[in-house]
Amino acid sequence: MPLTLHHLGLSQSERVIWLAEELGIDYKYVFHKRDPIFAPQSIKDLHPAGTAPVMEDDPSPATNSKVVLAESGAIIDYIIAVHGNGRLALTPKDGADYPHFLEWYHFANGSLQPTLFRVMMARGSDPNSPIVARTMDKWQQHLAMLDARLAETGAYLAGKNLTAADIIIFFTLTTMRGFCPLEFDAGEHKHLLAYLKRVGERPAYQKAMKICEGDDFKPLLGPKAETFDILKKL
């Protein structure tokens, strides 16, 4: 089996395992445990980025040589193009959903994830600083945008069907909140909460989360998020 997907526990590499499960492609799975909260040496040995996800394809059908990739977006694009026959990525042929797909796909790692990361960092240094207030406003604005879009489609971000835009964004709305426990509001974020439930019921998502975090792990699909134990122990 040429495709190897490396997952770091409780991390955004869950996206890649979920993608592979939605596509129904074969892959070898390798789990890496956080040490104690950052990436262990085994991840650093794979790629100079030293972060998860990491993908190895040996030999790659695209290059006939070994390909090692970091960066979620690059890995998702590669897997869809090389192993997924283009499924779950929209093109101009998909008409009106296409620009939405592009925007939300890039919003995930270009805006939403950096904003939550900034909230996490700012709160840690001084929970009362004006920077925290500003970044929280940004986070709330992003959530309002998401909720409005999901009210429009009543389903997924690009339209009626799941795409890679949902796969790349979902970690930030769920597992990442275990590192920065922000709540969603049952009224203001009604469509977003319905979306978390909808995606959470997908068999491929459930299977991927079990593979990544074990049978006992409960994905953070509700309005509240508890801080993960690995942070409490620090």
Q: Give the Cα-Cα-Cα angle 43, 54, 12 (nearest 5 degrees).
A: 95
How many chain residues touch ligand GSH (CB under 6 A)? 12
Shortest Cβ 141–ligand GSH spacing (Å): 22
Footprint of ligand GSH on 170-199 (CB under 6 A)? none
Buried b / exposed e along 62-93 (16+ C-beta atoms within 10 A): eeeeebebbbbeebbbbbbebbbeeebbbeee
CB 228 within 8 A of CB 182: no
Q: Which of 5, 52, 55, 225 binds ligand GSH (CB under 6 A)?
A: 52
Segment interacting with ligand GSH (CB under 6 A) among 44-52, 128-136, 201-209, 217-225: 44-52
Amino acid, res. 77: D
Q: Which of 76, 100, 109, 149 binds ligand GSH (CB under 6 A)?
A: 109
Q: Which of 28, 38, 144, 227 binds ligand GSH (CB under 6 A)?
A: 38
Segment interacting with ligand GSH (CB under 6 A) among 8-16, 95-103, 201-209, 219-227: 8-16
Q: Which of 5, 32, 72, 165 binds ligand GSH (CB under 6 A)?
A: 72
Rounded distance between C-alpha atoms, residue 88 and residue 81, angstroms: 10
51 binds ligand GSH per the rule CB under 6 A = yes
Rounded distance between C-alpha atoms, residue 11 and residue 113, angstroms: 12
Give burial (CB, 10 Å; 0-12/13-18/19+) of 150: buried
Contacts with ligand GSH, residue ranges (CB under 6 A): 8, 11-12, 38-39, 50-53, 71-72, 109
